[in-house]
Structure 1
């Protein structure tokens, strides 16, 4: 019994144990399920964690009156407070109303629930719709509510296609521009691969939604939905975006209007590449007072910081911020640093960039200057960030040196002339480069005077539109006895020419002066001399004590003159006949000419003055007979200067002998004078023998017969002198051509006579009267028999007479 009892007890104990185990398993399962449920509950709470008030988000529900407009995607709500087209409030007696199009065609029935009707417009096309309330029963009043359904657009675009994810770097910064033709816009913004916290960190300075909620700052985020991982941005605006710390990759942002169907996408690439800023050159050399060009390269960033100098080492420093605002970013940026004005006021004026859309902003300057940056070596430092005080570079990525070379001042003065017509159009060096410019110190009245100050430098001053006060640039009339000098600044008579688009200032300063019509000289008393000066004393920043610069350049201004050459007294009877002359007006000037034979022809071609002061006019005489006389004129359009001669056509197939001579009108006693003689055949065939004779001071210097082929010339030079003051007469014959002149020998320092040689054929000013008197004997290049009959071989009658006259005068002088 006991044993049985024992066994039974054991059995019962087992049963009890199984029951307890089952109960325990059930309780355990319940606890596990409870924990899972609690976990799920907490997890659900975390997923549904939102920041902001959802009521601040456009819901898309809009209570309307008849005549209102609704955006596609919104829900139009009609209540018994809504005004109908009949100007009465709507009354709903039935459970449904009709939605009709603008033509009154039925589209579908709408339910009346809780005293209102909702019209879902997601799938409706734009247009006009009617909600018609057909009330049955005793009321028998129908209502119609009309509304216009419209659409609007929305666009989203990042300012940069690529950014880095380097934290605290400008290379990770960009902006998202959201725009729309609708005003009260809110947009839901999300991107695959980014959660709500990522979006918060991109569009605010906070790292998570909870951190933003705790800070509760004013920002453009209206609402954060951590369940859908999207944020709501308010308005049409540019929203700053910082991708620092975001995983590298390509992201497509969805930008959806929060209450309509309008949507767009914006794409951006995030890279994890390093950012850097480097100098292109390790050394930048610049003259003191000039513009220094400092090229830099930015890698994966649009911002950099550059510092010139160190106040402890060089006594000066300037720190600036460089920002590249261009769409694609420049591979290289060239900064211009003005060493003439830096440190002397507005530092922003000292810095600029050659590229557009690049801003250079001064942050810190130490060491106030009163003159151009001193000539020495300055360390250049470049980086991608600055310290909190914005007075030093924090993340240095490149170094170089700025070598400022001491300024030495102007070195020389040169002058050039330009045509009177072109002077008014000279505004910069591009204009000067396109103008005929000729170096000279002899000017014709009214022509432009270009003064070149070589070695002037100081491009920084010119870039600022100024000249250096320490250098005086003046012009004054040459010293006149008993009169005080009256120097005048060059700027009173013109302006300096600065860089153009194609021609940059290279250190030579060009002044374009218009001296005509000013008080500088009397136009009725020309042949005036002037001194152009560049001066500086030891008060200048570049000169030591007792040092000075005194440059002087003399110019003269004369009346405008034009004159035909002797060769123009005859012209070949051919088309394309070229007649030449000389003038003192500026090369490049257009002169007017006229060849007129009464009853035969009038030709008026222009002639352009060449660099050597000659001009050539081309005429077509091929239709006219040889020996036809005509009047030949040349006129200067800028003045009343003109010259008229009589010329004659000759047979171009026959020889045509011309004589040209040149000798000085005045020479110092004891010095040599030179008589240059040129005989040319401008005809179309070889000449017979030509008698060439030269008499100087009554002595036969040359007696020679020559022959010239067509187009050939013969030339020779003859030196002569005198040991006492007086006049020496000379004469030259070549066939039937003769020229005479006089050279005066004067004591050193004697009064100057008219410049140029006293040469030309007899009665040269008589408009070609010699041509008329000689035409009967000048048939075929020379009548040799006339020269031989006077018993003096190789000489013409005139030369022989001149020789006899010289001998008689010499004998008389000896007798006295």
Structure 2
């Protein structure tokens, strides 16, 4: 593709600047310069483009026609300081015409001045002098010009299919004429490729019209394989050209082959995929009337050039009308001749598939239907019996409110027999042979039903069980895998119950015995039960805690669905620190804080809670600078002392302290309960900090002294 447009543009502009220097020095002296060919007439008030050569007629101007005439006119440019001289332009000494080459000019406003009487003069639409004028009345506007050209595709085939390559142009002029040349092809071949243009024998170019946001076409049928470079030059602008190349490939044999077909349950939609090589059209035959009394003939086109076509055969509608085959993504069906079954949908069994790249041919014993001519590939479509297999309960975070496709389900659900809070209940139903009958995102067939009913102690006395039906669910179909998902918010359970809805619920999917594909004459049902319970979220087991003046982690647990996002807030009259967390598969989550802040003192009290459930989750915390940095420790200590008079002395203690006293027996026990989460403090001590250890030692010493006394 075009990677050198900007480079060529830069080189062209550099060349223009060099030319302008020589132009200013030489002043286009002599009649040879004045005889340069022109593209258009220079007219006052017009806009012109850098690179154009514009002719004007100075006849009658005092710059010519006298013995001492200079035979030149001066070019001036408008600047902030007024018009400034740029260069002289030589006039033809015979007809007094001149040519302005704009290649070396900067964008801006310009005017021509009579070098004899030092006055500006205006030019009419024919480029002829109208007379003296002010700069503003004589000026014309020179604009920078941009231009690019690029083949839409890197390569093109020289036979079999589309051999036309599109070329996109872009110019700030909107529409320009472009001369196309190439050193890689002969002039005859160039004329064939750009047959829509006008050939120029003199320079062996072809002139085409190029417009921004429109495509021109190069015809490469029969062109030898190889890499070809083309140069596109704006034909009224010297030096403004770009190049682009394209690879022409030799076309191979046209082939069409089936991708391995999997068995499709009766009543579902069979996906038929065909790969195409060196062609974008094919002729597909599904079934054979002579063998199975069923056949569908289709002409198909690869509309997105991905080398593949996809057909969807609705096996349930084969007895309705001929439109039971639809085009998949990137596929267009251009002709359809299909038989229609007279009674039930397509029966189980094997059906021939054939695809051709050449067309159709008549077969006398096939009920008047053509067959694929010289098939490129053959296989069989296998239609199996349908079934109703299972139903299971899954849950999904409340925040998932879009269910447009299967990925929305499989990426966000977790299988579980309990649901809490406002999470989504997801019923995964495994059943086949129903997706051809189901239309849209609902179960609207009278031969199928989905119900959700409260059971057990959840049913109030002397009342009927509350129920929900298929219309209350959002249905997401995954017919390729014989599955559909039914989604409902747990809040709907509470609404149906009229209270909180907590308790057991039973979900049932049924394919009625009257369903045309239900061959056993009985209802087919599958069911599952789950429990709806109140949201239960806690932090640190509901216990208050101490946090170091540094990193600290607060852990929590909830019965909400994995993937639920919560905001855990550490809050005081000094700070408000929210932390977003995600519930893990096991229901746990953790929030990390750093209390090493200038505004947080030792002993600062705060609370931590889940913002969506503050009343039920709030616990207290206090900053303890003596703790290991990042260690959260909760300690409870109980001491019991029993004293009995005795002549002997026996001391039993859980510590290493032993005291003696006449006629006294002392039993002392100390029990400690410690809960610790990962952390450390500034002195690096595990467990108790130095200050806590010193206090404990002093307390033990005082106790021993008291007993001794």
The alignment's TM-score, normalised by the length of structure 1, stands at 0.50
Long gaps (5+) in structure 2: 1-36, 78-83, 122-130, 362-368, 549-554, 569-578, 592-608, 620-633, 640-653, 656-671, 674-709
- The SS at the match of 1:516 is helix
Q: 1:132 aligns with which of 84, 104, 113?
A: 113
Please list every run of 5 or more consecutive structure 1 residues that lacks an aligned counterpart in the other structure: 1-58, 83-88, 205-219, 354-358, 594-604, 618-633, 653-683, 686-709, 712-816
Q: Indicate which of 147, 159, 169 corresponds to 2:152.
A: 159
Which residue among 82, 85, 89 is the counterpart of 1:104? 85
Q: 1:322: Cα distance to partner? A: 0.6
Q: Tell me the alpha carbon deviations over residues 97-137 of structure 1, each in whole angstroms, 9 at most, x when there is no partner.
A: 324353225434212544x5231517643455543334589
* Separation in 1, partners of 2:464, 2:260: 55
Count of matched residue positions in the alignment of Structure 1 and Structure 2: 522
Closer, same or farther in 2 for the Cα pair 1:446/1:348, shift >3 Å?
Answer: same
Corresponding residue to 1:187 among 154, 174, 178: 178
Rate the CA distance shift 1:263–1:541 in 2: closer, same or farther, 3 A: farther
Cα displacement (A) at 1:363: 0.9
Whether the 8 Å contact between 1:97 and 1:132 is mirrored in structure 2 is no
State the 1:471 CA deviation.
Answer: 2.4
Secondary structure of the residue aligned to 1:411 is strand
Q: CA 1:134–1:246 in structure 2 vs 1: closer, same or farther (change >3 Å)? A: same
1:366 aligns with 2:334: no
* Cα pair 2:258 2:274 within 8 Å, conserved: yes
Q: 2:241 aligned with 1:263, yes or no?
A: yes
In the alignment, is the contact (CA less than 8 A) between 1:282 and 1:400 conserved in 2? no
Q: Distance in 2 between matches of 1:614 and 1:193?
A: 70
1:455 Cα offset (Å) = 2.8
Q: Once the 2 structures are TM-superposed, how far is the Cα of residue 335 of structure 1 from its aligned partner?
A: 3.7
Counterpart Cα distance in 2 of 1:324 and 1:387: 24
* Structure showing greater Rg: 1
Structure 1 residue 321 displacement after superposition = 0.7
* Structure-2 residue corresponding to 1:540: 515
Q: Secondary structure at the match of 2:178?
A: strand
Query: C-alpha separation between the residues in 2 aligned to 1:549 and 1:471?
Result: 10
Q: Is 1:451 the equivalent of 2:422?
A: no
Question: 1:495 is matched with which residue?
Answer: 474
The correspondence for 2:220, drawn from 240, 243, 264, is 243
Partner of 2:101: 121
Q: Deviations over 1:615-653 (max 9, x none)?
A: 999xxxxxxxxxxxxxxxx99977998999xx994679x
Q: Summarize the alignment of residues 603-614 of structure 1 with structure 2, pairs less than 5 Å apart.
A: none
Quickly say closer, same or farther: Cα 1:459–1:361, change in 2 above 3 A.
same
Contact 2:257 2:276 in 1 (8 A): no
Q: Distance in 2 between matches of 1:381 and 1:535?
A: 38
CA distance change for structure 1 residues 149 and 345 in 2, over 3 Å: closer, same or farther? farther
- Corresponding residue for 1:722? none
Deviations 1:400-422 (A, max 9, x none): 43524335232122224556x56
* Aligned-residue RMSD, C-alpha: 5.9
Q: Retained in 2: the 8 A contact 1:449–1:514?
A: yes
Aligned partner of 1:510 among 485, 488, 493? 485
Contact in 2 for aligned 1:409/1:542 (Cα 8 Å)? no
Q: Tell me the equivalent position of 1:320.
A: 300
In the aligned structure 1, how far is the partner of 2:308 from the partner of 2:466? 49
Q: RCO higher in 1 or 2 (8 Å CA, sep ≥ 6)?
A: 2
* Counterpart-to-counterpart distance in 1, 2:228 and 2:617: 81
2:164 is equivalent to residue 170 of structure 1: no
Q: Superposed, which structure 2 residues align to 1:103-502 within 5 Å?
A: 103-111=84-92, 113-114=94-95, 116-121=96-101, 124-126=104-106, 129-134=110-115, 146-166=139-159, 169-192=160-183, 194-195=185-186, 197-204=188-195, 220-221=196-197, 223-226=198-201, 228-236=203-211, 237-261=214-238, 262-279=240-257, 281-288=259-266, 290=268, 292=270, 296-300=274-278, 303-305=280-282, 307-310=284-287, 312=289, 314-325=294-305, 333=308, 335=310, 337=312, 339=314, 350-353=326-329, 359-367=330-338, 375-382=348-355, 398-401=376-379, 403-417=381-395, 421=398, 430=407, 432-433=409-410, 437-440=414-417, 448-456=424-432, 465-467=441-443, 469=445, 470-477=447-454, 488-492=468-472, 494-497=473-476
Query: What is the TM-score of this pair, normalised by structure 2?
Result: 0.57
